[in-house]
Amino acid sequence: MLFSSVTFLFYFLPVLLGLYFLTPGKLKNALLLVASLVFYTWGEPSSFWVLPLSVVVNYIAAFFVSPTSTGDNNKDNTSRRKWVLGIAVVLNLALLAGYKYVAFVISNWNELAMAAEWKTFTVPPTHLPLGISFFTFQAISYVVDVYRGTTQVQRRFVDYALYACLFPHLLAGPIVRYADLARELSSRSHAAGVFASGVRRFIIGLAKKVLVANPIAVFVDEQFALPSHDISVGVAWMAVIGYGLQIYCDFSAYSDMAIGLGRMFGFHFMENFNQPYHARSMRDFWRRWHISLSSWFRDYVYIPLGGSRHGPVRELFALVSVFLLCGLWHGANWTFVLWGLWHGVLLLCERLGMENLLPRLWRPLQHVYLLLAVSLGWVLFRCQSVTQAVAHMKAMCGLGPVEHPPVDLILFMTPQHLISLAAGVLVAISPVALLQRWIQQRQSLSGSPLSQFAFQSGELAGLAALFLLSVTHLAATSYNPFIYFRF
């Protein structure tokens, strides 16, 4: 059940909102939990059991790793807590690996085994449950934080289950820490202003997804469907630029809608994007892109591996390890592994001295470096195989085979494609956010009731127009999946 679907927009969400605000305060969490499970089951009926199993295992494990539950006053208790923590983390990762990585490992083993005439194995095809990468990382963060004592164990099962299953962030994030929602799980306000800001944020995300990301996706898919050796340099570059716009508009749109939905129900999720294409270094990019994931790897992988506390060699090892794992988190494919290593190596180069050189460059050149580096990474991220990625990079450099006349860019650049790409650029440089901030500033500075009314009426009319355009576009097109649903 996509946020950008008729079923969600006109049936699930209105009915749930009506029931939610009619339900007494003590039962609101139970209602949201049931609705979240229905939401998940709608899209994942065959693997529905995976999510409840994860909830139950981690709810129980938290009691055994909590210092306040066990009494952290002797070595035996500390040792037991460590063992339980280790088992809980292993179980979470085993569930994720069983669905996501076993087939990848076996297929690579079989290729090696056939060359060496060793025994090969067969593995039945598996369907990756929706959101498993996200809710597994959330569960690990909860158990680890309880072990560390930075989060109190949640004794009410319904409240913990709601945190783990809350449908706005369940399928594609943001990866929410339990500590960020702990207070609101027990008591939250439902102010009209917060609800209105949630509706506003949701509509902006819906428009970004339906009116910008989806049309760009059609354009990008057409270009990547062509054999790499049959495309011109222009087509190869435009495909990558288009994909960079598509994935940002698509993923940030989901985060916008998730944050907006959270506010409608009284929850506040962290921001997941902060104008990432404004960055001037790879380090800056990862402070702005998928913030919830990068902060998760920092707190639960990079720092435990030593971070910057044990010398430069240990720091560089931790950095590359983080991005290797980050690539694997995105998918069981060598293209994702190389994408993670590419970002890790660039960050490594910046740590080794390039970050001192970059600020001395002309600012536009800093942006060119970042956009070029990220775009080359998107080739690996988008292509289905390393062979295809290498061929596409050759085409970008004009080094592809010349037996056939290459497909020229002019064949793809229809007026609709130009409009969608221009809209993607506008979203990426965020003039809408700047305009909204300017309007809010003008509104706050203006004391005239007439001016206040004019600003509010104009904003309402604009949001209504965006919503109607989005719904109309939904009815007229069939392309709608979110990119991060397959991770």
Q: Catalytic amino acids? A: 330
Residues 6+ apart with CB under 8 A from 205: 3, 252, 253, 254, 255, 256, 257, 258, 259, 260
Closest by CA to 33, choosing from 18, 51, 10, is 51
User: What's the one-letter identity of residue 57?
Assistant: V
Residue 17 main-chain phi, psi, to 5 deg? -60, -45
Q: Which H, E and C letters describe 268-300, residue by residue?
A: CCCCCCCCHHHCCCHHHHHHHCCHHHHHHHHHH
Residues 6+ apart with CB under 8 A from 178: 138, 141, 142, 145, 151, 154, 160, 163
Question: Concatenated DSSP letters for 186-255?
Answer: H-----HHHHHHHHHHHHHHHHIIIIIIHHHHHHHHHHHTS-GGGB-HHHHHHHHHHHHHHHHHHHHHHH
Helix (H, G, I), strand (E, B) or coil at 23: coil
∠ CA 150-151-155, nearest 5°, is 155
How far apart are the C-alpha atoms of 136 and 403, rounded to whole Å?
A: 49
Contacts within 8 Å (CB) and 24+ apart, 352-360: 352/316, 355/281, 355/283, 358/280, 358/281
How far apart are the C-alpha atoms of 443 and 454, rounded to whole Å?
A: 9
Closest by CA to 168, choosing from 408, 1, 358, is 1
Largest CA distance in the chain: 83
Closest by CA to 255, choosing from 206, 294, 199, 212, is 206
Residue found under tokens 């999720």: 269
Q: Which H, E and C letters describe 245-269, residue by residue?
A: HHHHHHHHHHHHHHHHHHHHCCCCC
Per the DSSP assignment, residues forming a β-bridge with 407 are 231
Closest by CA to 250, choosing from 215, 287, 291, is 215
Tally Cβ neighbours within 10 Å of residue 158: 15
* Lookup: tokens for 245: 């716009």
For CA atoms 215, 219, 225, 228, the dihedral sign is negative
